[in-house]
């Protein structure tokens, strides 16, 4: 059974503050080979929910360099997962700039209308959005200091995790049906 849980924006922010100018040794550094921006934002969001989706086709997860989903480190795959996920892990929706909060994601578009960079929102200052990122490492940098043709904003609404129904587990075990609920 899936249960919706609140996303911990304070944890996502704290992670961004801790690792904006360094690399967590638990994750591969993609800087120089496509960029580390989306992986960093995924790490921040993971810090705010501690729930990955290990589906090999449509999931969002990181085990190591050779065992990770495209959505963990790829800009467009990240967007697709976050805005369509109906299973476990974080989920969100595209929104306007006025509705984003700390812990949400921003993706920048170039003049060829290709999204190329993912940032995490880490603050607001006098109506201006502050973001943090890897590749061009930044913490609380003003979004309007970047050069881009457009942007999309992803509001993380929460996450889903599997919760065992103890009654089904007992019933299946008692009746000799299954070891799993």
- Dihedral sign for Cα atoms in the order 6, 124, 78, 39: negative
How far apart CA 123 and CA 101 sit, in angstroms, is 8
Q: How far apart are CA 134 and CA 85, in angstroms?
A: 25
pLDDT of residue 175: 76
Give, to the nearest 10 degrees, the angle between helix 37-47 and helix 75-84: 30
Summarize pLDDT for 41-52 with one digit per residue, the tens: 999 999 999 999
Tokens 């919760």 belong to 163
pLDDT at 181 over 60: no
Residue 86 has pLDDT above 70, yes or no: yes
> What would the mean pLDDT of 16-31 be, rounded to a whole number?
93
The pLDDT assigned to 177 comes to 74
């Amino acid at each position: 059974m899936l249960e919706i849980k609140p996303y911990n924006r304070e944890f996502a922010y704290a992670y961004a503050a801790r690792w904006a100018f360094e690399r967590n040794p638990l994750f591969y550094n993609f800087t120089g080979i496509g960029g580390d921006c989306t992986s960093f934002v995924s790490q921040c969001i993971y810090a705010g929910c501690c729930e990955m989706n290990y589906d090999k086709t449509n999931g969002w997860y990181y085990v190591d360099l050779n065992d990770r989903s495209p959505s963990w480190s790829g800009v467009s795959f990240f967007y697709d997962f976050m805005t369509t996920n109906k299973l476990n892990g974080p989920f969100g929706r595209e929104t306007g700039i006025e509705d984003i909060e700390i812990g949400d994601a921003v993706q920048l578009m170039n003049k060829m209308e290709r999204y190329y960079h993912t940032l995490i929102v880490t603050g607001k200052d006098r109506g201006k959005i502050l973001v943090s990122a890897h590749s061009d490492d930044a913490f609380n940098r003003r979004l309007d200091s970047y050069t881009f043709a457009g942007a999309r904003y992803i509001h993380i609404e929460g996450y889903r995790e599997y919760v065992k129904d103890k009654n089904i587990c007992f019933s299946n075990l008692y009746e000799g049906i299954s070891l799993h609920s």
